Structure 1
């Protein structure tokens, strides 16, 4: 496969401000990023550790999309299940694994069992001519040292979407270490505020430009996003979706799409930003993951062609 989306898989229960509640949506960073790539290209593989309930719950989606399941490994009886609560603007209010400390502990334990490590990823990249890889990741040094060896050996481009809890000022040294092995760095506005300890967006952008990485995808919620490259920043307004249903995973989906665009357009910051926003607009139009990704391709390509041309003609 040319592309890989790797990492955690979640099964989401969505709770919305208007009283809607939707259960057992496919989510998590890796599946959402997979969908953000798959809308453009079939040559992408999902690599994730799951519970065996995953195959029962999502069999229809797997079959409809002809998903290669060789990298989806059942390690426990049940997958990671979470409840996500959204406010009236579609922003996440809370992510809950249960109502008591025991449930929280068991959830954390399960996350650990199902975490994907570099040595599990290696066999899917070695000798496979992988162009680009997405994986949400923390800042643990040993994980990054092992990952660096794989990246050096196999030569793919890497999109790092930082895990939010690790995007804080005291972790800056570890973040800089990880950026040595990163081609594109993705974070949202809340994470950037925590990292730089400021709410001033202009100051955040200035500081992002100082980071040692080729490109940054700076996501600013429903407003859209910025791409940052070679000391310049490009604002990309969000794209109005056909339906406004479920904001879960828009960041992951847009980040996966950005990774694909980065590899296919030689790192064009305009194409990267626009294609990321297209993926987010498609994602928010459905509950959970995009149900039939190939069916969105013609529309996505037409939108990308029109919007990239319009942006560059300004």
Structure 2
């Protein structure tokens, strides 16, 4: 696998108000990141714990979209399942069907990753800042030489975790978080303040996601704002950030410019929020549309130097 996702993949059972029908969709941060990568690259895969039922649930999606399953590890009878209830007011409630401990049991470990990175150019990891976990990951990185995109989990997006988050982020090539997480992590009052703090943190490339506004790609001396795809269909925003982050890793490893990395991420996100769950099928028409959207987004990119935001 050239591009590897290390995170959870789950079954989402989605319920709507005044409707007895249920949608069963592949979900989880890892699955969305994988789907985002797949927009731009065929040689992708995921390292994740799954249940014995996973092949029956989603094996067809992997087969039809030429995505390998060799990184999946069967760790239980059941794949983690999230029951998602939507309400009339637009709010929703998520409940792990088998409980939080079951979910944790199936989280992938560094040992699971070790057998899937021999030829990897980049690895996407959705995780907190646990130092023991990252020590093991960095040993693998030193051995195999892959780049890391770390997407911060909400559990570590708080000010008392700042020191450990920055220490870890300084050892990866790309660090992804969203607006809410950045404001919480730095106890900042605005995006401008959060961006300034990130620029002073001696990190590689920061991928700061700002919802419908798009993304900011942040380095010490420059900030690049890449807007979202214009007139994108939004059915369910779940996984938009994960898919954007996964696609951005592909762009980074391909040596793309900042604006191109952001555009690849935003285009992938647009595909992933256009339905419940991940896109069902990848083909030449999707790639043609992806390229078209990519060029359109590039026309609206802006660069900002220090003190210009």
How large is the Cα RMSD of the aligned pairs? 2.5
Structure 2, gaps ≥5 residues long: 304-309
Write out aligned runs for 1:1-314 (5 A).
1-15=1-15, 22-84=22-84, 93-97=92-96, 107-126=99-118, 128=119, 130-240=120-230, 242-266=232-256, 268-295=257-284, 296-308=286-298, 311=301
Where 1:257 maps in the other structure, the secondary structure is: helix
Point out the more displaced range, 216-225 or 254-263: 216-225
Q: TM-score, normalised by structure 2?
A: 0.89
Query: How many residue pairs were aligned?
Result: 303
Structure with greater proportional helix content: 1
Partner of 1:125: helix, strand, or coil? coil
> Unpaired segments of 5 or more residues in structure 1?
99-105
* TM-score under structure 1 length normalisation: 0.88
Structure 1 residues 36 and 231 mapped into 2: Cα distance closer, same or farther (>3 Å)?
A: same
CA distances 1:214-256 after superposition (whole Å, capped 9, x unpaired): 1111111122221112332122222135532121111110000
- For 1:185 and 1:238, locate their aligned partners in 2 and report how far apart those are by CA, in whole Å: 19
How far the C-alpha of 1:22 sits from its partner, in A, is 4.7
Displacement of 1:85 after TM fit?
5.2
Q: Quick one: structure 1 residues 135 and 22, their matched pair in 2 at CA, closer, same or farther if it must change by over 3 Å?
A: farther
SS of residue in 1 equivalent to 2:116: helix
* Partner Cα separation in structure 2 for residue 13 and residue 121 of structure 1: 28
Q: Distance in 1 between matches of 2:239 and 2:21?
A: 16
- Please give the alpha-carbon distance, in whole angstroms, between the structure 1 residues aligned to 2:170 and 2:89: 36
Distance in 2 separating the partners of 1:168 and 1:96: 23
